[in-house]
Structure 1
Amino acid sequence: MPMDLRLGDVVEVKKNHPCGNNKFEILRTGMDFRIRCLGCDRQVWISRVDLEKRVKKIIERKEE
């Protein structure tokens, strides 16, 4: 069962981004996710499977 990740959620991942930050905002969902590093504003495309493996916890949930 896929993890419940929504647009606008802020997630903490297990491994830090090269800038040193480990918090990302979800910008696009589907088979592939587009996430934005909250430290340096770099955007990264990542598959759903890889993102679900790397997410430690959901920090902030976007209201619907």
Structure 2
Amino acid sequence: MFGAAEFPAIVWLKEEKLGEIANAFWRFGKDDVGWILYDLDFEKGRLPIFFRPVISDGVMAVPRAKDAALVR
């Protein structure tokens, strides 16, 4: 994940490096990437909201705003 809402990142791939990048970052299986900041709840005094995603075969599932997977 690159940044948060306050710090977005603009990224792009160079065509000549595509194979190298794919080999370096695409892995099959599951990887636990630790806790990630999801949002701040300003109605509750800027309470941080976290989630703990797993990357499965190169895909990270991000929970919806009302999901029980979010930890406040």
| Greater share of helix | 2
Report the TM-score when normalising by structure 1. Answer: 0.27
Larger RCO (CA under 8 A, 6+ residues apart): 1
* Largest Rg, 1 or 2: 2
